[in-house]
Each structure stands twice: as C-alpha cells, then as structure tokens.
Chains A and B, each alone.
Chain A
Amino acid sequence: MRLSRSLCRPALAGLMGLLFSNTMALAEVPMLQPLVDAGKLPAMADRLPENPFVITPIESVGKYGGDLNIAYKRDDELHLVRINGYEGLFSWDLAWKEMLPNLAESYEANAEATEYTIHLRKGVKWSDGSPFTAADIVFAYDDLLKNSDWLGTRPDYIIHPDDTTVEQIDDTTFKVKLAKPNGLYIFQLTNVEGTQIALFNKAYCSQFHIKYNANADADAKAQGLTGWAALFELKCPEIYGGTRFANPDRPTLEPWVVKDPPSATAEFAVFDRNPYYFKVDTAGNQLPYLDHLKLLIGNDGETLVLHAMNGEVDYQDRRINAPTQKPLYLENADKMQFHLVDQIPSAMNTMVLMFNQTVTDPVMAEIVSHKDFRIAMSHAIDRQEIIDTLYVGQGEAWQAAPRPESKYYDEEYAKQYTEYDPDKANAMLDALGLTQRDADGFRLRSDGKRLTFNVETNPIRPDWPDILALVKAQWVKVGVDLQVKEVDRDLIDEHRIANLHDMEMWGGDGGLDVLADPHYYMASSDASAFGVPWYNWLADHNAKNGIEPPDSVKKQWDLHDQLVQSPSVEQQDKLMNEILAIGKEDFYVMGISLPTMSYALVKNNVHNVPPAQPASFSYPTPGPMQMSQIYKD
C-alpha cells in the first residue's frame, strides 16, 4: 500500500510529463492560434500533408516567433528565389550530393530513361488551402511550358516542348514520357530550374489563361497590357520573373508568403508565414519557426554593407560578401554580435590553363599534343608563389579536378604534377627535342621560331592578369615565352569558338557541379578550349569546323551518352568516374590553386545555420539548408 502510494505521485508526474511533452510537440503555431480559434484556419494537423517532409534541425529543435531580416538590393529577384523560392519536386541535401524527395515522394523510371512516373506527397496544400495535385503539374507542362505564347523560361529539361508528354494518372501521380532518353531528368528537376513546374496553382492561375478564360485577353487589355500572356506573367510569374514576389494573392508552396511586396518604390518588404507549409521538424512542429521575412531594400551595395556591418541583418551572403569586405566584418563582429560562416565556392580552380591541341599551327599542335610537354609546363609553375603573393597563403596547389567536397573527388587527379620542379621540367622539355635556344634563352621550335604562346585575359576577375604575370616569369626559367594580352571578354569567347587561340585561361567552374559542368574534364562543349573542333566533330560528324579527336576523347563522349541514358544514379556516378579517369590520364587542362572559402554573415542569436555550405546558383545557396528551420532566441 505504502509502496504503491509512494510510486503513485512520480508515476502520475511522469504520465503528465509525457502528455505535456506530446502536446508541446504538436502545439499550434502561436501566430496562427487566434485564427484557428476563430475558425478561419484549420488545425495544424489538418493543414499539414499526410506525410510531411521532416527536417532534422542542424542544431536543435527551435521555438516559434521572430523575424528573418535580410538586406535586399532592389530588383534582385534571384536573391529571393534562393532564400524563399526553392520548392521543387526534389531538393538537394546540404552536401549537394543526394536528391531528396521534396514535393514529390518517390519516382520510378524505366530502363531506357524515357518514362518517369512521379508520386507527389499526399495532402500538400497551397498557401490558400487548396490542394496541390498532379493537375497543377500537368497545367504547367501542357498549358504553359508547351504554349508558345507563354512568356516564361523553358528549362533545359523541356527545350523541345513537343517531345515530352505528361499524363495525370491520379491526384498524386503523373507520368512523363520523353522522346529521347534522359537519365539526368530527376537531376535537372532537383536543380533550381526544376521549381518551374511546381509554381502554378491551376485554380488561381487559369483565370488569366486564354484557354480557360475566354475574356483573358480583354481583361489584360483593359489594364493597359498587350495581351493575356502579359497579365498572366504579372499575376502568376515564372521562376525568374521580375514580379515573382509582387502578387500577394498568388498561392505558393514556399515558407513565407508575400504581404507587402518589394515594389519599385518600397523601402521595406514583408512576408508572412505560410500556414500550409508542408515541412515539420523532428518533433512534429510545423515550420517555419520565424513568423516573418523582412526585407531591408537598398539601391546599391554600399548601403547594404553598412546595414550588414551594423548587425541589422540575420543571415546574409548575397551582395555583401566580397573577399575585400571580410576584414571589415571581422572587426565589427563582436560589437555587433554576428559571426561569419563558410561558403564553399563551386569553382575548383582560381584559373585553368588549356593548351589548344587543335591549334592551326601544325608545329605548335605537334608540340602541345605531347602529354609530357603539358606535364613539364605544369611542373614549371610555382603554385605556392602564386598562392602566397596573391591569396595571402590561402588555398592549395590544385589541378583542374573536382573539389575535396565533391563525391567525385580524386586526390591523384587533383595533385598530379603540381610540384614545382624547374629542373625536371627542363629535362623533360629537352627530352622532347626542344634543345635549341635563342640568344635570350628561349627554346626554339623545329622550324627555328621561338617557342611563344599567346594568351588573352580579362580583369573581370582581378587576380587573373596577376596570375599570368607570375606564370610568365616562371616559364622564362624553362625557356618558354608567354605573351599575355588583356582584351574584352566577348573577344576571348569569339576567338575560342573560332579556334584562333594558342592557349586559353578561364576560371575553374565545375568543382562541385561536376555532372552539370564537365567541360574541363572532357570535350563536352565549346568551352572546352583544349579542343573545340573535337567537340564540334563529336556533336556533328559532318561539321565543317570539326576535327576527329583521339580515341580517348571519343570514349569520353560515348560514356557521357550512356550516362545521359541511364536512369540509375549509381550507374551515372560510375560512368562519370570513368570519364574523369580518362581526363586524369590525358591531362588536357592544368590548374593553379583551389579557390578560398567565401563566407556569409549570421547574427549570434540565429540558430540552425550550417557552418559551411556550397555556394552556387543551381544548388541554389542557401535553399537546401532549409531556411524554414532557422530560429532565433
């Protein structure tokens, strides 16, 4: 009796605690409580889908309340797309390696990668409470993307509209039939352009579409516009539309819905939470934690930097994170109570150098086609000197190879031939037969002319001319003459496409987005300056400006074709690694150094921000971090 009584109270307390914590987890969002009580909004359980997307908070489960303050440069819609606009069928994970189900739950593909059946999350609702169904996707495909009058961007997965058909199977399932195999279809849907097909609420937007409303044209003209397409773009803008966040009536699936739009003349803009947002945290609380998104609108960079320095923004990378500003923020960080977090640049190199193996001068072509020549020139570059002089010691010697954070990282590829060894370089060049030198010490070619390479550059990145100046001085020591010329950027492109260049330099894109941008690893586009005519031939065997490439280059192209046609991610990775292995072996392109980290500013009372994330548009930073899980204390 006594025992049970003494156990009674703790047991009751335990039970109460359990009940209490359970109700805590599923408590209503405080800001929406009055609306729920007044009957204007359904309870939280009814607003969420059957299977909400569960976000694991980066630090801890948060608490409701507060505003997210961002500094916004007027007309910079891409900034808002990154922060509040990344809600597609699939979403990237934080590491940019895995495709996670977002609005879609799962998919099946056939073996030829021509048919995809996609299953949507059941019960997701738009911000006005109407259900999100496959009908909205079919509307976007059939009535917009395939409609030649519609004013929006057609993403690369639907370049040829007639080739694709979309069929609605039921409310949550639809089937896509492609005319040509595309193993990268889901990959493309996961990138930021993929959000385009989940942007249009059929019930609301069809009133502005001529197919569903015969008066749409007349309505538009009555408002002074040229036709229904202009009014449609105004009310239901496309992904990059200038008025993307200008219409508060448009139903969305994003975490915050616009209330006071960032118009041409406003100084501030306010977004309120979306009561039907389909994501929850691990305790079942509906996200976002923060009630409002507030924009501080400025016309130019300086004022925004001042606001950031003054601690008036909660999370900011856009427009204010030039490398030269970093010391300024570090000085003010303690006083204004913010700290900096890292952003991993998606570029893999500060500069890549490509000898043109298809150059029209046959003597030069013969020399640069020898792999040993390229290896020797790579050994002749003192990368550490460049890093110390230009980047204050930040970065490490790196070839044109995927970044360490990428799943395709290969240490050998990244580090091969990066040792500074002028003696070895000289020996290798001698072994190639370039033993004759002229009076100034420069080597002579077999036709008696000086071994000179012309390269064009542009100060669009201020470090480029500096790197080339240092390389020029280093190459003098092995008897090779580098002539550097600064020209307009368009001219560099023109010369490369016309194959008029000896060698080319550019920034090393494709460090993290290897699959999307492999043109330094293989001849995949006219940006592959080491063999543009090879690419021309591969794309069209009968092209007049094409030259048949060596077998290994052709092999890479075939592997890439297979990659595009295989729907399985594992198979794609395997093929990509094979392509990279050939690139490593053939060594077309040499690099200088790994670019240093970029940064973002975070106030100290803001939580659940990752200490590092990739910086890229197709990712799009900071979308995959899930801005809705940020909370403040």
Chain B
Amino acid sequence: MIGFLSRRLVAMALTFWAMTFVAFLVMELPPGDYATTKASEMTLGGAKVDQAMVARMRELYNLDGPVLVRYATWFGRVVRGDLGYSLAYSAPVNDLISHQLPNTLLIDGLTLLFTWLIAIPIGIYSAVRQYSVGDYVATVLGFIGVAVPTFLIALILMWFAYTNFGVVLGGLHSQEFSNDKWSGPALLDLASHLWAPILIAGASGMASLIRVTRANLLDELHKPYVTTARAKGLTEWKLILKYPVRMAMSPLVSSLGWVLPSLISTSTIVGIVMNLPTLGPLLLNALMVQDMFLAGGVLVVMAILTLVGTLISDLLLFWLDPRVRIASL
C-alpha cells in the first residue's frame, strides 16, 4: 500500500512538472505578449497608443527575458504556493482563483454526481433490456449529447429558454442576492441558476458512461455465476444489483481518471458561454490578453484538480477491487 502510494505520488509530481512546462511553452507561442495585446486592443477601440508606455510595461514585468529563465522563476514561486500577480487585473492570482474555486468545485462536483446518478441506472437498464426500445432511445440521446459540441447545446438551450419562457439563462446569482449569498431565498435562487449548466455539462459526459456501464454489465451478465445465482432462486433485480453491477462498477471508478479532466474542460466552455463565475472564463480572458501569470495559475490549479482526482480514483479502485491490490503488491 505504501509502495503503491509513494510510486503514485512520484508519478504525480513528474506529471505536474511536465504539465506546467508544456502549458508555459504553449502560452509563449503566440507572437507578442501582454503589453502588445493591450496596445492592439486599445487601437481597435479607437484610442491612440503611446509606444513608450508599452515599452515601459514590458520592462517592468520582464516580458523580454528568455523563456526558460522566466519559466524557472515562475515555477520556483509556484511550488512555494505563490501564483504571482495578474497583469490584467492587478491583483494577486491567489486571490482571484480562490474567489472562483468554490464555484468551480461546486458546479463540477454536482455535474459529476448528476452524470453518475443518471448514467448508471440508464446503463444498467440498457444492459438488462438489451436491444429494447428503451435501450435504443437512451443510446441515441446519449450519442447526441456527445456529438453536439457543448457550447452549441448551451446556446440552443439559452435560445429555447428565451423564446419560449422569456428567461435569460446564465450567471450564478441574481443581482438582488449578490451580497448575502447563503440565505434561504439566495440558495433557492442559486439552485434555479445551477440546473442549466449542470445539465449541459453533464450531457456530453453521459453517453460514454452509459455505454461503458452497459458494456461492462453485459460482460458480467453472461458469466456462469449469474446463472448459478438465478438457479439458486434469487429475484432478478436483487441478483443483478448485488453481483454483476458491483463487478461492473470497478472499471467505472477507474474511469474517473479521464472523466475529471474532460469535465473540467467541458465546464470551462459552459462557464464561458453561460457567464458563470468559475475558472473557465477567468482562464479564457487571461489567455486572450496573454496574461502569463493568471493563465498559468489557473492551469496549475486545474492540473492539481486533475491529478488529485486521478489519485482518488486509483485509491478507490485499490480499495474496491482486490485484484488490483494483489497485482500491485
């Protein structure tokens, strides 16, 4: 167990370093930097740009130095917990992120729960009643959710809600509750805003979970022990839920490893289109103006979430499935 854990932690640290390195390099690829982006934004808006000011900004924030040196300085601060200072918002990145992180975790967590709660029963039903009408309907809907891009689902839902109900979806809070967020009516208001992003973000993840559950269960359903249990007189549903489903669960737990990163990127897009105060829009705005520190900081947080998620999924699998325990010893 200790060996397993320590090997995983070392792998995590290496992955984290690689992720930050690649992310930093990719952010450096576009020509220009924060100073030039700011200047061209101002010109497009009609203002005249003072080139000397641009040069001064570049000098002040050391945007000119060699890439590796800047990466090393930045990474050195990151491992000490200091994510730097955002150029675009003139505030410490730690403050900005800690403001958005609870919202992100809330939405991502609820979406994950929602996806599992819906997808697993549908998957079980699909497997047990294979090739029935219900199976086909569930499959088709699931594939539509996968095939249609998330932002399109979001826009269609927003348009639909607006033309038929006159409601503008988006945001997480109404203006009246922006100050007292935890009172009863405020929580109700929050719930009324939450259902749309959860539905949209969940839609695309659902199909894969349904199909995986269905496939795993189908594998199990034709095994000899199921026939034995049936012969011994157990009722159909009790039998299915107690034995094959439990076996089919274990690949699902390991699926957390890839569901979590895909969820984070999906919810980023949903957050941007629907105007949610989460990490997604923060990242997009930072990337558009090439604010190195903010974008890097958000990517670091997302990387940590992903890695922690995969660790948790590995640990859960370890606990759940004896075969993994034995194999790793």
Contacts and interface: CB of A to CB of B under 8 A. Distances in A.
A265 B93 CA distance: 12
Given A234-B90, A310-B162, A75 B53 contact: no
Interface string B113-130: 000000000000000000
Contacts of A620: 46
Interface string B163-179: 00010101111010010
Contact of A299 (B45, B166, B284): B284
A264 B282 contact: yes
A242 B274 CA distance: 24
B75 interface: no
A152 B53 contact: yes
Interface in A297-313: 297-300, 302-303, 306-307, 309-310, 312
B320 interface: no
Interface string B264-284: 000000001111010001101
B12 interface: no
A154 B50 contact: yes
Contacts of B170: 298, 303, 306
Contacts of B42: 78, 240
Given A224-B92, A263-B91, A268-B178, A310 B50 contact: no
A298 B275 contact: yes
Contact of A310 (B96, B166, B172, B178): B166
Nearest to B179: A260
B155 A302 contact: yes
Interface stretch (B55-63, B216-224, B249-257): B55-63
B275 A303 contact: yes
Contacts of A151: 53, 56-57, 60
A74 interface: yes
Interface residues of B, number: 45
Contacts of A154: 50, 52-53
A618 B171 contact: no
B45 A75 contact: no
A265 B96 contact: yes
Contact of A306 (B89, B96, B158): B158
B86 interface: yes
B79 interface: no
Given A226-B60, A230-B60, A265-B100, A240 B277 contact: no
Interface residues of A, number: 48
Contacts of A309: 162
A406 interface: no
Contacts of A618: 46
A526 interface: no
A302 B152 CA distance: 12
B230 interface: no
Interface in B44-81: 45-50, 52-53, 56-57, 60-61
Contact of B50 (A75, A153, A224, A306): A153
A243 interface: yes
B99 interface: yes
A262 B23 CA distance: 28
Given A154-B53, A224-B92, A265 B45 contact: no
B152 to A, nearest CB: 12
Contacts of B92: 224
A21 to B, nearest CB: 37
Contacts of B89: 242-243, 263-264
B15 interface: no
Contact of A617 (B46, B50, B274, B285): B46
Contacts of B162: 306, 309-310
Nearest to A621: B46
A310 B173 CA distance: 17
B85 interface: yes
Given A264-B96, A267-B173, A312 B168 contact: yes
A300 B47 contact: no
B215 interface: no
A75 B48 contact: no
A302 B46 CA distance: 22
B277 A265 contact: yes
Contacts of A226: 60-61
A78 B168 contact: no
A300 B92 CA distance: 24
Contact of B91 (A156, A264, A312, A617): A264
Interface in A180-238: 192-193, 224-227, 229-230, 233-234
Interface in A236-263: 240, 242-243, 246, 260, 263
Contact of A265 (B88, B99, B171): B99
Contacts of A297: 275
Nearest to A193: B48
Contacts of A234: 90
A267 B60 contact: no
A617 B42 CA distance: 11
Nearest to A235: B90
B289 interface: yes
Interface in B25-50: 38, 42, 45-50
Contacts of B273: 300, 302-303
A323 B287 CA distance: 29
A103 to B, nearest CB: 21
A294 interface: yes
Contact of A227 (B45, B50, B60, B282): B60
A541 to B, nearest CB: 25
Contact of A264 (B48, B61, B86, B168): B86
B276 to A, nearest CB: 9
A78 B281 contact: no
Interface string B232-255: 000000000000000000000000
B282 A78 contact: no
Nearest to B286: A264
A71 to B, nearest CB: 11
Nearest to A616: B46
Contact of B90 (A242, A302, A303, A312): A242
Nearest to B53: A153
B50 A267 contact: no
Interface in A37-73: none
Contacts of A74: 281, 285
A298 B45 CA distance: 18
B168 A307 contact: yes
B304 to A, nearest CB: 19
A460 to B, nearest CB: 10
Given A78-B45, A154-B52, A267-B275, A299 B281 contact: yes
Nearest to A297: B275
B192 to A, nearest CB: 15
A240 B96 contact: no
A109 B50 CA distance: 27
B169 to A, nearest CB: 9
Contacts of B46: 78, 616-618, 620
A407 B277 CA distance: 48
Nearest to B103: A265
A21 B308 CA distance: 71
Given A296-B175, A300-B272, A302-B273, 15 more contacts: A149-B56, A154-B52, A156-B48, A224-B92, A229-B60, A265-B282, A267-B172, A267-B178, A267-B275, A294-B175, A302-B155, A303-B275, A306-B162, A307-B168, A616-B46
27 contacts: A153-B47, A153-B49, A154-B53, A156-B48, A224-B85, A225-B85, A226-B60, A230-B90, A242-B38, A260-B178, A264-B86, A264-B285, A265-B282, A267-B173, A267-B275, A267-B277, A268-B175, A298-B275, A299-B281, A300-B272, A303-B273, A303-B274, A312-B168, A616-B46, A617-B45, A617-B47, A618-B46
Interface of B: 38, 42, 45-50, 52-53, 56-57, 60-61, 85-86, 88-92, 96, 99-100, 155, 158, 162, 166, 168, 170-173, 175, 178, 272-275, 277, 281-282, 284-285, 289
9 closest A-B pairs by CB: A617-B46, A264-B89, A78-B45, A153-B50, A299-B281, A265-B99, A243-B90, A234-B90, A303-B275
